[in-house]
Amino acid sequence: MLLIHCPYCNQTLPELEFTYAGEAHIARPADPSSVSDEEWRDFLFIRTNVKGPHYERWRHFHGCGRYFNAVRDTVSDRFLITYKTDDPRPELSKLLEKSK
């Protein structure tokens, strides 16, 4: 069972308290009616499905209830970072540097 750091509670807690919520940084278009069918399809369904560091969302469901973002390696399951939803997308090269 993973230990996950909630950036809002600032605590590292068991995975049981959290739910996974899909890939991160997929913004709903501001004006959906103006986007093409292909763009809307991509927003709904197309995901990176990476083997390796993955930007994804979690929710501290049985805690503060907040959604937050994370970078987790899908091979090792190791979290490189968790961060608040409005924080900028962290640069991967820096994260990898740090995790070494």
Partner 1 sequence: MSSFRVSGRGRVDHTQPIQFTFDGKKIKGFKGDTIASALLANGIHLMGRSFKYHRPRGAVTAGSEEPNALVGTRRGPGRFEPNTRATVQEIWDGLQVNSQNRYPSLSFDVGAINDKAYMLFSAGFYYKTFMWPKSFWDKVYEPFIRAAAGLGVSPTEPDPDHYASRYLHTDVLIIGAGPAGLAAALTAARAGSQVTLVDENPEAGGSLLSEPSAMIEDVPAWDWVAKTVAELKELGVKVMTRTTAIGYYHQNMVGLCEKLTDHLASPDAETPRERMWRVRAKQVVLAQGALEKPLVFDGNDRPGVMLAGSAQTYLNRYGVRVGNKAVIVTSHDSAWYAAFDLADAGTTIAAIVDTRSEPNSDLIAEATKRGIRIMAGHTVTGTEGRLRVKSVRVNPVTGSTVGQAEMIGCDCLLMSGGWTPSLHLFSHTKGTLKWDDERQTFLPDHKAEECEIAGAGRGLWGIEAVLNDGAEMGAAVAKSLGKKAKAATYVVANDRPGTGVSHKELPTDLDAGKARAFVDYQNDVTAKDLRLAVREGMRSIEHVKRYTTNGMATDQGKMSNINGLNIASDALGVPQPKVGLTTFRPPYTPTTFGAFCGYHKGSHFEVTRKTPIDSWAEENGAVYEPVSLWRRAWYFPKDGEDMHAAVSRECRATRASVGIFDASTLGKIEVVGPDAVEFMNRMYTNPWTKLAPGRARYGLLLGDDGFIRDDGVIGRLADDRFHVTTTTGGAARVLNMMEDYLQTEWPNLDVWLTSTTEQWATIALNGPNARKVLEPFVEGLDMSDEALPHMSVAECRVGGFPARLFRISFTGEVGFEVNVPAHAGRALWEMLFEAGKKYDICPYGTETMHVLRAEKGYIIVGQDTDGTVTPHDAGLSWAIGKMKPDFVGKRGLARPDLVAEGRKQLIGLLTEDGKTKLEEGAQIVLDPNQPKPMKMVGHVTSSYHSDAAGRPIAMALLENGFNRMGETIYIPMPDRVIKATVTGTVFYDPEGERLKL
Binding site for partner 1 (CB under 8 A): 1-3, 19, 21, 27-29, 31-33, 35, 37, 40-41, 43-44, 57, 59, 61, 65-67, 76-77, 85-86
Q: Whole-angstrom Cα distance, residue 70 to residue 6?
A: 10
Token digits for 63?
Answer: 């805690």
Burial class (CB in 10 A: 0-12, 13-18, 19+), 58: buried
Pick from partner 1, Zn ion, none: which does 35 bind, CB < 5 to 8 A by kind?
A: partner 1
* Residues 38-57 within binding reach of Zn ion (CB under 5 A): none
Among 21, 26, 64, 95, the residue binding Zn ion under the rule CB under 5 A is 64
Task: Return the residue matching tokens 């083997």.
Answer: 51
